[in-house]
Structure 1
Amino acid sequence: MWKIRPKVALLALYIDVLFFTHLVSGSFPRAQNVAWTSTNFKTLLTWGPKPSEDYSYSVEYSVIGQDRKRNPHCIQSKDTMCDLSSYLSQLNKTYIAEVLSEPPRGVVSDLVEFPHTRSEPFCPYQDTDIDRPDFGIVVGKDKRSVTLNVSDPLTALFDGDRQLTIRDVFADELQYRVTYRRHSSTGKKVYDSKGSVIELTRLDRGESYCFNVQAFVPSRKAGKQLGELSRTQCSEGEKSFTDVYSVPVIAGGILIILALVAVIIVVAVVCYKRRSKRARENEKERDLL
């Protein structure tokens, strides 16, 4: 019988392991560019590339230090995106997700551990972006104050059938930052409000002001405290004559008035001369008599 030396046997085993690993790596490529995308707690995990017919992706997630779970909608999927919004229910916890490269549905593999790629840590409360709010403008009767009525943006979270707003989530920590200026000026002022009804006073009477509003959560980490800036909206000011009529219209009106005055003067002069002529003729006739 042939005797196999221990070193030769170990070398053969090592070569087999390398060969097997190469086959697995070639059949199931690892996911790349795994990243979180989240706005108003609508949280998606994205990655690439698009899988071929030979493999699929599954997503596992967990609070750091706890057991991993699977999203049932993201198991052996051909998608490169997984919606985890409703699964990250502990908003103040930090999560990790992993994208596993697995066989397609219905295909069995002898692999014990599939190639996987881990995400960066993600905390919904700290990391989700806050969308821009909508607001209305009410000018005070004194024309020196303006009230902004801000609508708290909706989130992707629900309490039963009720969709939650960002104020439901952040509660007293939520503020709104208002940036405003006179319509005719570039100088800006900033005002922070803890409420959604914001009154700005001591404005210039009758002036038009332009406003931007954004959510402000001071307790969040730097770079995530401010939400997206709203669209610019301006209040109505007291309109001057030049605001109502353009310069060409005003110039045209002046020319018309001058022309009418000139016509009136010419007609008056002609009428005066005719009357004077008739008066002289009447005097001559009386002298002859």
Structure 2
Amino acid sequence: MRCPQTVLLLLGTLSCWHPSSAQGEKYPTATDIRWSSINLKTILDWSPKPTNYTYTVLIRGKYFKDWKKKCIFTTDTTCDVSDLMKDPKDTYDVRIVSEIRSPDGIEESPYAEGPSFTPYEETIIGKPVIRNFTLNKELNTLTVLIRDTPTPYRFSNNTPKTVRDFFPNDFTYTLFYRKASSTGKKQQSSDTNEIVIKTDKGEDYCFYVQASVPSRKVNRMSQNSDELCTSSDAGGFDIIVLVAVGIGVALIVFIIVLSVILCKRKNRKNEEKSKEEEALNAA
């Protein structure tokens, strides 16, 4: 009889069976793959949310041909790939693999490819921040210092690389300014993070900063920084002085009132004591 051999063959086949390969089962591939990058911090997003499988992100640049893995076996639909994109001028390809944790890793998993991405041309320049400013009334100048925005990358000495470090000859700050009493606007640009303008004597100024990458055709300009005015600090100082004076006056008034009350109480006690002594003497 050949039945025992048939049973053994069937059991051997079942022992090699894996859920991912049953009936050629394939998991859904990623859709709507999107890049978002601000100041060279680059994130990938996609859909849908996985149920009984996971995702692994693969990144490949022109300068390194092998696919590099990121966010391995993740159940999220977002992945920070900044550390794989250290050369902003390189163009990167992406694959998102749909898979399960297979012990043998033999089965080829389905994947979806997203659009290519070149950080140098496509990362958005974030909103700049004015670190401080100085209005010199003797020299009639306004000096504005802008904070260079850090990126996720660092130099060999572990100091952070800024956005301007990645665009050494292709990055500009522009200061837009006006007299506080006027709406007429002027501008002055600089390749450094310090801008100095001439001012009129006795005038206050309001200003904001914009960063730009002049060589770009799209995404050239950043958002505007918050607008500041040279009178704001003085106004703030005046408010602090007024509050301090008010507190001081209130404290003085409180001390005077308390002194008067204590003095009256003491006089009242002395009067009562004198009356008691007079009554005893009369008796």
Range into which the TM-score falls when normalised by the shorter chain: 0.5 to 0.7
Retained in 2: the 8 A contact 1:139–1:146?
yes
- Residue 200 of structure 1 and its aligned partner are, at CA, apart by 1.0
Q: Residues 16-31 of structure 1: matches in 2 within 5 Å?
A: 27-31=26-30
Residues 115-137 of structure 1 deviation map (CA, whole Å, 9 limit, x = unaligned): 32222221112211122222211
Task: Please state if 1:194 is matched with 2:188.
Answer: no
Retained in 2: the 8 A contact 1:143–1:206?
no
Distance 2:87 2:195 in 1: 31
Retained in 1: the 8 A contact 2:137–2:201?
no
- Residue 143 of structure 1 and its aligned partner are, at CA, apart by 6.8
Structure with bigger gyration radius = 1
Q: Which amino acid aligns with 2:30?
A: A
**In the alignment, what sits opposite 1:168?**
165
Q: TM-score, normalised by structure 1?
A: 0.66
Retained in 2: the 8 A contact 1:27–1:55?
no
User: How large is the RMSD of aligned CA atoms in angstroms?
Assistant: 3.0
**In the alignment, what sits opposite 2:217?**
222
**In the alignment, what sits opposite 1:76?**
73
Distance 1:64 1:197 in 2: 36
Q: Which amino acid aligns with 2:72?
A: I
- Residue 172 of structure 1 and its aligned partner are, at CA, apart by 2.9
Residues 191-210 of structure 1 deviation map (CA, whole Å, 9 limit, x = unaligned): 21122111111x33222211
Identity in percent? 32
**In the alignment, what sits opposite 1:59?**
57
Distance 1:49 1:94 in 2: 26
Residues 62-120 of structure 1 deviation map (CA, whole Å, 9 limit, x = unaligned): 1248634232x4122112112211111222111111111112x24667643x3322222
Distance 1:118 1:187 in 2: 50
Partner residue of 1:118 out of 105, 108, 113: 113
Distance 1:145 1:41 in 2: 34
- Residue 38 of structure 1 and its aligned partner are, at CA, apart by 1.1
SS in structure 1 of the partner of residue 83 of structure 2: coil
Retained in 1: the 8 A contact 2:63–2:90?
no
Q: Which amino acid aligns with 1:62?
A: R
Distance 1:235 1:84 in 2: 41
Q: Which amino acid aligns with 2:146?
A: V
Distance 2:191 2:35 in 1: 29
Distance 1:32 1:233 in 2: 44
Distance 1:56 1:195 in 2: 46
Distance 1:234 1:151 in 2: 17
Partner residue of 2:149 out of 145, 149, 153: 153
Distance 1:56 1:233 in 2: 48
Task: Please state if 1:182 is matched with 2:169.
Answer: no
Distance 1:223 1:182 in 2: 31
**In the alignment, what sits opposite 1:247?**
none
Q: Residues 1-289 of structure 1: matches in 2 within 5 Å?
A: 27-52=26-51, 54-64=52-62, 67-71=65-69, 73-103=70-100, 105-106=101-102, 111-112=107-108, 114-135=109-130, 136-142=132-138, 144-160=140-156, 161-201=158-198, 203-219=199-215, 221-236=216-231
SS in structure 1 of the partner of residue 154 of structure 2: strand
Retained in 1: the 8 A contact 2:26–2:110?
no
Instruction: Give the unaligned 5+ runs of structure 2.
Output: 1-19, 240-283
- Residue 158 of structure 1 and its aligned partner are, at CA, apart by 1.0
SS in structure 1 of the partner of residue 214 of structure 2: coil
